[in-house]
Amino acid sequence: MRKLTDKFCLGTVQFGMQYGVNNALGRQPTDAEAFAVLDTALSAGVRMFDTASAYGTSEDVLGRYGLARKGAHLASKLAPGTADCTEAVLAGLRTSLHRLDAEQLFCYMLHRADDLDKSGIMDGMCVAKDSGLTKKIGVSIYEPQDAMRAAHDDRIDVIQVPYNVLDQRLDGCSFFTLAKEHGKIIFARSVFLQGLLLMQPQEAERHVGGSGRAIACFHELARDCGCSPAEAALLYTLSHPYIDYVVFGVDTPNQLLENVTMSQKETTAVQCYRHLRGVSFNVPARVVQPNLW
């Protein structure tokens, strides 16, 4: 049985730009600060890392660190707006590999589900996999209907989905069982909803209108489990039986070590998952989709 820490995937968007509504630094980290986080992640046993060409200088930072040469598995994403042709896809991937100082990716994903309908782009993704530039190809989705499409698509190996205690939309359809029947690897992002789940309700409401009442309810349920909001949010998503990797970002080494410590509470994790599974927080889609904030 996999340990919960084996599901860790460190998201690195915050290394390439100022990111998140609850950013501890309040700015993009320096190389030294990012490298300290990466050192800590590798020492803690994290081997999966998520980036994208659209994440500012994130790929460059990982390349300067030499992450690919240190036994890490890297997932990156095609730039939105890439031309609908094989050559453009391969050029984009080779640029990412150069920036990352890597010879091969674990997975190269579409950053937008709309690209599934573009034959030139999908031909390029398949050529990239067949030629060994990436082991797998995938897609990052925002909407349940796109997740279902990807689950049915035999070309797709990996699906990255938004999933957290407030956003259980994919449990309301047959996505998870369908994806596993089709052999998909599932990455879940937004475990902390960019830090919104960790804010006090009044502060959350100021940042994202309509979120305060749901955050207050979640915090109360976390207390019922004997958990902090951070513990409840992380343990809930980590405990989902069909999620293979949980993508989360941190700003400091201490935050990463706190997540490692939280993930070791496996008995609490089971209780937390049972307590929070299926709870309806009655929030509109705009609250759980950071791209709409």
**Tens digit of each residue's pLDDT (9 = 90 or more) over 202-220:** 999 999 999 999 999 999 9
User: Rounded mean pLDDT of 54-58?
Assistant: 96
Which of these, 45, 53, 42, 100, lies nearest to 74 by C-alpha position?
100
Looking at residue 146, its pLDDT comes to 97
Give the total residue count for the chain.
293
Tokens of 125: 């993704």
Looking at residue 20, its pLDDT comes to 54
Domains in the chain, please, with CATH? 4-194+238-253 (3.20.20.100)
Q: How far is the CA of 213 from the CAs of 165, 219, 237, 276, in angstroms? A: 14, 10, 21, 16
**Tens digit of each residue's pLDDT (9 = 90 or more) over 30-54:** 999 999 999 999 999 999 999 999 9
Q: Percent of the chain at pLDDT above 70?
A: 97
Mean pLDDT value across the chain: 95
- 18-27, 101-110, 274-283: which is most confident: 101-110
CB contact at 8 A, 187 and 244:
yes
pLDDT at 252 over 70: yes
Q: How confident is the model at residue 292 (pLDDT cuts 50, 70, 90)?
A: confident
**Tens digit of each residue's pLDDT (9 = 90 or more) over 166-194:** 999 999 999 999 999 999 999 999 999 98
Amino acid at 291: N
pTM of the entire predicted model: 0.94
Rounded Cα distance between 266 and 272, Å, is: 10
Supply the DSSP symbol for 24. S
